[in-house]
Amino acid sequence: MWRTSSTRTNFNLPVLRRGFALWWCLVFASVGFASHATRDSVVVDGSRVTYLAEVDVDTTQGTSLFQGDDWWFGVGWDVHVGRPARGSDLSTLGLPANRPMMCLEHQQELPSGRGRFGLLLRYFQPWALAEGEVSPDVKGWIESVDRGASSPVRQVVLTPDSLAYERDTLMAPLSPGHAVRMGLCWEGRNVWGWWPRVAISATAFQPQGWILRSPSSPSDWPNIQATSTFEKVKRFEGRFRAELGGVMDVGSSPGARRSSSQLRASVAWVPGAYWGVTLALMASPTRR
């Protein structure tokens, strides 16, 4: 005789209670989310249907971490075009440097579209004269024709000899010094792909500037002392600088943002030292 076993279902009441509680939590959460979501409605066949409005997010128009606030780093190079009229005399502050200058700027957006205002810091290396190493027989100074020389100036010396004086030239004791310039800058609005730029600055410290006298008539050389061939420049000579030029973005950036790299070209004037053209390549780690 066969027996048919009946199937039993065992319900675990604690598990069921937890399941129902979780289900109700999800229901209430979804209702709360829907109540706070943006709603809209439309009439279909005389019945109003309410639905959640869609929101499109343009990721290319996100706000910058530093809104309207930029840091710029870069290198620049001065190309000297002219110097003050001193005859054949030379100023150590007006000699072209053989090393680029390092640039640091902090810019801030001005209200009402009036451009950008900033603070600038420049490190550069003008020529410094080691006066203790000047030859005691120097009679004047001339510019070196050797562009690859370690010094841009040569000393004209008259060395006493057992038979006669011997004329010669020696390398001037000039070496790159250290200088820091600080100032203000302003950048205007776009004009044909260029942003006008104005900057003024002054040196916080720099090597002592010297005027190097050119050689006089050879007949006067025996009576010329070495200390009379060079003298200090005036106190504020070569300390101030003015720039006028433009900025061009290099590369592209999403949306209407400015590029994070720039090419700058400007005319620079340092009263008492030189005037010329300045080229600089800048980059910003903080996006606009």
Q: Left, alpha or beta for 277 (phi > 0: left; psi -120 to 50: alpha)?
A: beta
Nearest partner of 274 among 122, 144, 79, judged by Cα: 79
Residues 42 and 155 in one domain: no
Is residue 247 within 8 A of residue 262, CB to CB? The reply is yes
Does residue 178 lie within any of the structural domains? yes
In the predicted model, is pLDDT for residue 26 greater than 90?
A: no
* 165/156 Cα distance (integer angstroms): 13
- For residue 174, the enclosing domain spans 66-283
Average pLDDT for the chain: 81
Locate 186 and state its tokens. 């302003």
* 103/119 Cα distance (integer angstroms): 11
Residues 47 and 142 in one domain: no
Residues 101 and 222 in one domain: yes
In the predicted model, is pLDDT for residue 2 greater than 70?
A: no
Residues 268 and 192 in one domain: yes
In the predicted model, is pLDDT for residue 44 greater than 80?
A: no
Residues 75 and 174 in one domain: yes
pLDDT in tens, 215-242: 988 888 888 999 999 999 988 899 999 9
Report the pLDDT value the prediction gives residue 8, as an integer from 0 to 100.
43
Residues 148 and 19 in one domain: no
The three-state secondary structure class of 76 is strand
* 77/86 Cα distance (integer angstroms): 24
Cite the beta strand spans of 188-239 per DSSP E.
195-205, 210-212, 230-232
Average pLDDT over residues 27-32: 50
Nearest partner of 41 among 31, 32, 51, judged by Cα: 51
Residues 47 and 86 in one domain: no
Residues 182 and 268 in one domain: yes
Residues 42 and 136 in one domain: no
